Structure 1
Amino acid sequence: MKIFKILAVSIGLLGSIGLSAQKNDLGAWYMYFGNNKISKKLNLHNEIQYRNFDALGDLEQLLIRTGIGYDLTENNNNILLGYGFILSRPYVNGEKTENIEHRIFQQYITKQKFGRFNIQHRYRLEERFLQDDFRMRFRYLLGLNIPINNKEMLPKTLYGSVYNEIFLHFNSPTFDRNRVYGALGYVINKNMRIEAGYMNQIQETRNRGQIQIGFYNNIPFTKD
């Protein structure tokens, strides 16, 4: 119970920081990730991200993704084909604009475990259908979860989470962005966990921080 209170306090502190987002150029992302088995080998990916320029109310981007994945080995080495809908509302010359993007993506995820260290590699290829353009992009994410009060990621475990993800265009300019993330997480039960953290996003002409709160749901849709 103490662990859950610690995480709740951490989320509260991150939220209070986000309230002064406009002064600090700090955004806030609220995220839901579902990865639900629909058979022994197949899984359904579903994801919603509500991204704000400030703590709440000034929408930067709404991202909805879904896809079907297949485990090449049991609970690991997953390949996935997915679709994403992205509504963006950036500021251009001080005026709010709106853009819609449709995205097809293919990805491969593999996991490794060394002692307490739970490592994930994610390779993703994206075909991006923008309103007036088409682009292809490659992304590589290296993530790490480390349980703190238990040796394994068991229920009621507090853990640290970090990742680095780089984005590369197939056309010029090659470099798109890089994201560095650190968070504190709590395993609610074997199928659910929550994280609260900070992500710094580096782009060619911009460097901006994001407070992130994410909920992860792995409840299977089948008993198999």
Structure 2
Amino acid sequence: MKILRSLAAGLIIFGISSFHAQKSDLGAWYMYFGNNKISKKLNWHNEIQYRNFDAGGDLEQLLIRTGIGYDLAENNNNILLGYGFILSQPYANGEKTENIEHRIFQQYITKQKFGRFYLQHRYRLEQRFLEDDFRMRFRYFLGLNIPINNKELVPKTFYASAYNEIFLHFDSPVFDRNRVYGALGYVINKNMRIEAGYMNQIQENRNRGQIQIGFYNNIPFTK
């Protein structure tokens, strides 16, 4: 257990030190994900992501998403309708610019378990209302969690986490980006967990790494 705690602390320390050593090449994403039951079948999704070009302060993107989902099966096969607000501050010719995007999205999530392997498939369709453009995009996410010190993802469990997500446009160019992620997570209790890891984002003309720290809250709003 002490070794696992040391690994978790080491990963976070490595991320913080890397921010200062590679400001131009390594970004940081701080993320909160809420998925809260509001009835037996309905859930409220709420999400905030604060994405930086460096450790903090040089904002790349602020993303806020929310939506209402419905379980087609007990705690599984969830369909959701959502909305996202995205504030981006990219650099153009060395100067900061600002763009605002409004996004409507529909998604389907299904979960599977094979022994110690927890799988999640997410299919998402996005309608993106940019300031001077409208685009549609499809995303497929495949995630995997594997408990380390317990057989199940019960409280006080460390786990390995990985995912791959591909983004495809409905027009040309079809390929938008691909994200590959690996992390170490910890289950705090039955409704909360935390992860720290590294994500590599591949785009047509850019390949950039991100340190990610995410907090997950599934506290139900029902008895």
Same fold (TM over 0.5): yes
Match of 1:141 in 2: 141
Match of 1:79 in 2: 79
C-alpha separation in 1, matches of 2:40 and 2:6 = 36
The letter of the residue matching 2:9 is A
C-alpha separation in 1, matches of 2:190 and 2:16 = 27
Match of 1:95 in 2: 95
Within 5 Å, which residues of 2 pair with 1:31-50?
A: 31-50=31-50
Does residue 21 of structure 1 match 2:25? no
Where do 5+ consecutive residues of structure 2 fail to align?
none
| Mean Cα deviation higher: 8-17 or 205-214 | 8-17
TM-score, normalisation: structure 2? 0.97
TM-score, normalisation: structure 1? 0.97
Does residue 198 of structure 1 match 2:209? no
| Mean Cα deviation higher: 54-63 or 2-11 | 2-11
| CA deviation after TM superposition for structure 1 residue 164, in Å | 0.3
| Cα separation, partners in 2 of 1:189 and 1:4, compared to 1, 3 Å | farther
C-alpha separation in 2, matches of 1:162 and 1:33 = 17
C-alpha separation in 1, matches of 2:178 and 2:21 = 24
The CA RMSD over aligned residues, in Å, is 1.1
Contact 1:21 1:55 in 2 (8 A): no
| Cα separation, partners in 2 of 1:5 and 1:221, compared to 1, 3 Å | farther
Match of 2:52 in 1: 52
| CA deviation after TM superposition for structure 1 residue 19, in Å | 2.3
Match of 2:175 in 1: 175
Contact 1:20 1:55 in 2 (8 A): no
Cα-to-partner distance string for 1:119-159 (whole Å, 9 max, x where unaligned): 00000000000000000000000000000000000000000
| CA deviation after TM superposition for structure 1 residue 48, in Å | 0.2
Identity of aligned residues (%): 84
3-state SS of paired residue (1:131): coil
Within 5 Å, which residues of 2 pair with 1:91-130?
A: 91-130=91-130
Where do 5+ consecutive residues of structure 1 fail to align?
none
3-state SS of paired residue (2:23): helix
| CA deviation after TM superposition for structure 1 residue 7, in Å | 2.0
